[in-house]
Structure 1
Amino acid sequence: MLDNEFHISKDARASLVSLVCPKFAEHSTEKDTMRSLMELRELLNTLGIENGEQYVQNRKSVDPATILGSGKIKEIADQAKEEGSSLLVFDCELTSSQIRNIKNLTGLSVVDRCHVILEIFSQHARTKEAKIQIEISRLQYLLPRLSGFWTHLSRQKGGIGVRGGEGEQQIELDRRIVRERIEFFKKELDEVRKSREQQKKKRQNKAVTAALVGYTNAGKSSVMNRLCGVEVLEENKLFATLDSTYRMLNPDTKPPMILIDTVGFISNLPNTLIDGFKTTLESAIEADLLIIVCDISDPNYKKHLEVTQQVLSELGVENKEQMIVFNKKDLHPDPLGQKIILRTNPDSFLVSTYNEEDMVNLKASIINHFLDKQEHYDLFVPYEAGEAHSKVVSKTNVLATHTHERGIFYRVRVPKFIFNPLDLNKYILAPEDPLIEEFINE
């Protein structure tokens, strides 16, 4: 690992370190710790880093200096070196002093779970906004930990000539540089957000949106590809998708229906990335429907659903309309178990992205969800009102028509926000209008 560049070398072999401690969130039981370590291995696989052995200690309390205590840390380091590891990865968030203490004790490079996630995010971000937000998160994580990573902490000489006085400590200079970079990127982010707000206003009331959300690697991109007939990157890796991707779900409805693929959630999300998630997930905040995709084949799927609801709550969208899609049913061979899951989660869907019928049914359900929310109108438009006929056909979903000697009956459904500006209110048939009986009887 190049400490000064804050990047994890892909050539490193990593040994994983964790603990079971009743007082430590997400590691209070052995089951929690093993689940989290398995996830950490997948995160390292996403970075292309070779996984070594994992070391877990049961403790009543966390050692403030080294997490596990100096004796245990030295023991782990000796075993890690024997297996050829040059990197210790802790499945928790470390402070600057903890990083420095463990490095001094072991002579190995030391990173934590947060550092690994930040590294993945920095490599996978594609849009300008995501790149800026992740760089801010990375610098905010780095700022309080500079003394743990930086090795050039000697004082600089100040003044003129050989006899100049002591200048700033290098660490203080580094901190000032990092703070200035954070402020610079925040200003850039504000400009990008202003541009996006303008684009959002242009799109407003021109489409309805459904956002695919859920735990990372649940198969959201695969679902989008099958529903929209597109090719969004889909990999069996955590955080393969970091940027929101927009695709047309159904261009034939009025308004068009758009599907959004979003970044996956994960447990133990670092505090420095919370704002980054909120920025990347603003598309989900604005969506009309949240489609929660959950990998039914994962033994921890219940935990994944909990984390998803927790993140949605933090985003303030927990009360938005939701639909749960249990994906990868082909990898869950227990039919009885599948039925129990569906029974305990009403209005949910069980699908495999490799099953065409599943995808056709799911797409129809999403489209019908939006159509059922639309208002129904019975219209009678005289033949001479040519512009009105054009608006009805091009701007509304026509369910039925019937010709009359004086005009055309239309039964349509369309959202109010689209219907009201069309200036078609004068053609609405009142329930008591005698013409409506003729239309209904037809």
Structure 2
Amino acid sequence: MMDNEFNIDPDYRATLVSIVSPSFPDHQTESESRRSINELRELLRTLGLQTGEAHIQNKKEIDPASILGSGKLKEIAEAAEADGSKLLVFDFELTARQITNIRKLTGLSVVDRVHVILEIFAKHARTKEAKIQIEIARLQYMLPRLAGFWTHLNRQRGGVGVLGGEGEKQIELDRRIIRDRIEFYKEELVTLEKQRQVRKKRRENQAVTAALVGYTNAGKSSIMNRLCRVEILEENKLFATLDSTYRMLNPDTKPPMIMIDTVGFISNLPNTLIDGFKTTLESALEADLLIIVCDISDPHYEKQLSVTYEVLKELKVEEKETIIVFNKKDQCDDELLKKIVLRKYPGSFLVSSYDPEDMTALRKHIVEYFLAKQEHFDLFIPYEDGAAHSAVMSKTNVVNTSNHEKGIFYRIRVPDFIFGNLGVQKYILGPNDPRLEETDWTTI
């Protein structure tokens, strides 16, 4: 990455840098830091970068200017250059001042974990809404770090004590441009949000939904493909899916059942990025059921679950009904662990997305879950109300019918929130209505 560019050069080899410190979340122990830096290595692989050595330093007190101190940074820089690395990637967020200081001390390009994730998001987003959200997050990240990204302008500054040199003027101009772009994109998002709400309302009136949520690379897209018998992107990479994808789970039920595949979660994700993806993650808010997918083959599967629950809590959907699906059982050799998780999480599923029997059983469970949630209604609709007959036949599961000289008796099954939109409430028969005893139900 050149000093005057934001994009990471994919041809660069990267040296990884982390710490163990009681003041850093998810880096308080050696085990936590190693798990996190291995995840960072996978993030860089997703970007197509080769990675070299990883340096983890124990630090009780953090140097606010450069995190690790000049001596250790020069030692890491020498090892990186010997390894052919031109890029230092820090496994936590750095301030603008820290980035500038570390670059000066090491002579190497410097990025942090947030920067890497932003690059991945930018490359993988597909919908206009997701692209705009990412661009806003990128610009917000770049704004306080602009001087660091444009260090070539330092040479244009005025003399000592002189403010407003050419470089500073250019940086201020760029800051103003970036702020204007952020506001422009936010206005665009408002328009797209209104359109999304219209689509959401349409889905609410026509379908029930289940959302696949969970840690990135847990296998949500693979499960989506098998359950819905479709082909969407599935890769063994972090953040292969960024946009919410909607597919039909069961078109034969009324209303149909829709499955939503959402962006994966990850630890150490700053609030700016979470806020930027609230709209994408809000598909979880729409869902009637959350299916939490967890990679049982990952030694840190409990951390995955913890991060998932934290994000769901932030979205205020932690009270929704959930099913936990432990995926990739074919990659887990610990038979005792498989038994333990099923006991620890009653009602959960242990599956391989490539096992047809597992997917059939999971699909059946989800369908039966939604059917069990449907209410029974008995109706008597006069023949002349054709619209009511049409609504019942097209949007509900008709259990039985019985013809009468003045109309038709229906026994139906449908979610109450769908029933409320049918406009047939006036035809409901009470449980003690004498006309029910006269009906000759005919199964259709």
TM-score using structure 1 length? 0.92
Q: Any gaps of 5 or more consecutive residues in structure 2?
A: 159-163
Instruction: Verify the 8 A CA contact 1:398 1:410 in the aligned structure 2.
Output: yes
Distance of aligned partners of 1:402 and 1:349 in 2 relative to their CA distance in 1, 3 Å threshold: farther
Aligned equivalent of 1:116:
116
Instruction: Verify the 8 A CA contact 2:239 2:263 in the aligned structure 1.
Output: yes
Shift of 1:406: 8.3
Instruction: Verify the 8 A CA contact 1:26 1:32 in the aligned structure 2.
Output: yes
Aligned equivalent of 2:344:
344
Distance of aligned partners of 1:305 and 1:426 in 2 relative to their CA distance in 1, 3 Å threshold: same
Aligned equivalent of 1:196:
196
Instruction: Verify the 8 A CA contact 1:155 1:166 in the aligned structure 2.
Output: no
CA RMSD of aligned residues (A): 2.5
Instruction: Verify the 8 A CA contact 2:401 2:441 in the aligned structure 1.
Output: no
Query: In structure 2, how many angstroms separate the alpha carbons of the residues matched to 1:194 and 1:420?
Result: 24
Q: Which amino acid aligns with 1:95?
A: T
Shift of 1:399: 2.8
Q: For 1:36-435, what aligned pairs fall within 5 Å after superposition? A: 36-154=36-154, 169-379=169-379, 389-401=389-401, 410-425=410-425, 427-434=427-434
Instruction: Verify the 8 A CA contact 1:24 1:62 in the aligned structure 2.
Output: no
Query: In structure 2, how many angstroms separate the alpha carbons of the residues matched to 1:197 and 1:275?
Result: 18
Worse-matched range after superposition: 192-201 or 336-345: 192-201
Instruction: Verify the 8 A CA contact 1:156 1:169 in the aligned structure 2.
Output: no
Q: Which amino acid aligns with 1:418?
A: I
Instruction: Verify the 8 A CA contact 1:14 1:50 in the aligned structure 2.
Output: yes
User: Secondary structure of 2:205's partner?
Assistant: coil
Instruction: Verify the 8 A CA contact 2:22 2:28 in the aligned structure 1.
Output: yes
Aligned equivalent of 2:161:
none
After superposition, what is the alpha-carbon deviation per residue over 1:192-212, rounded to whole angstroms, capped at 9, x for unaligned? 222222333333322111111
Instruction: Verify the 8 A CA contact 1:155 1:170 in the aligned structure 2.
Output: no
Query: In structure 2, how many angstroms separate the alpha carbons of the residues matched to 1:165 and 1:210?
Result: 57
Aligned equivalent of 2:19:
19
Instruction: Verify the 8 A CA contact 2:13 2:51 in the aligned structure 1.
Output: yes
Shift of 1:273: 0.6
User: Secondary structure of 1:153's partner?
Assistant: helix
User: Secondary structure of 1:5's partner?
Assistant: coil
Instruction: Verify the 8 A CA contact 2:5 2:149 in the aligned structure 1.
Output: no
Distance of aligned partners of 1:404 and 1:120 in 2 relative to their CA distance in 1, 3 Å threshold: same
Shift of 1:157: 9.5
Instruction: Verify the 8 A CA contact 1:324 1:348 in the aligned structure 2.
Output: yes
TM-score using structure 2 length? 0.91
Instruction: Verify the 8 A CA contact 1:3 1:149 in the aligned structure 2.
Output: yes
Distance of aligned partners of 1:110 and 1:321 in 2 relative to their CA distance in 1, 3 Å threshold: same
Query: In structure 1, how many angstroms separate the alpha carbons of the residues matched to 2:270 and 2:375?
Result: 44
Shift of 1:3: 2.7
Shift of 1:76: 0.7
Shift of 1:319: 1.1
Q: Which amino acid aligns with 1:44?
A: L
Number of equivalenced pairs: 437
Distance of aligned partners of 1:387 and 1:269 in 2 relative to their CA distance in 1, 3 Å threshold: closer
Distance of aligned partners of 1:441 and 1:339 in 2 relative to their CA distance in 1, 3 Å threshold: farther
Query: In structure 1, how many angstroms separate the alpha carbons of the residues matched to 2:382 and 2:185?
Result: 59
After superposition, what is the alpha-carbon deviation per residue over 1:368-426, rounded to whole angstroms, capped at 9, x for unaligned? 22221111123456778766554433221123456789876543211223334445445
Aligned-residue sequence identity (percent) comes to 70
Instruction: Verify the 8 A CA contact 1:378 1:412 in the aligned structure 2.
Output: yes
Distance of aligned partners of 1:336 and 1:170 in 2 relative to their CA distance in 1, 3 Å threshold: same
Instruction: Verify the 8 A CA contact 2:388 2:424 in the aligned structure 1.
Output: yes
Query: In structure 1, how many angstroms separate the alpha carbons of the residues matched to 2:361 and 2:402?
Result: 30
Distance of aligned partners of 1:155 and 1:187 in 2 relative to their CA distance in 1, 3 Å threshold: farther
Query: In structure 1, how many angstroms separate the alpha carbons of the residues matched to 2:434 and 2:325?
Result: 46
After superposition, what is the alpha-carbon deviation per residue over 1:253-279, rounded to whole angstroms, capped at 9, x for unaligned? 111111111100000002321212212
Distance of aligned partners of 1:195 and 1:380 in 2 relative to their CA distance in 1, 3 Å threshold: closer
Q: Any gaps of 5 or more consecutive residues in structure 1?
A: 159-163
Instruction: Verify the 8 A CA contact 1:152 1:170 in the aligned structure 2.
Output: no
Query: In structure 1, how many angstroms separate the alpha carbons of the residues matched to 2:440 and 2:421?
Result: 27
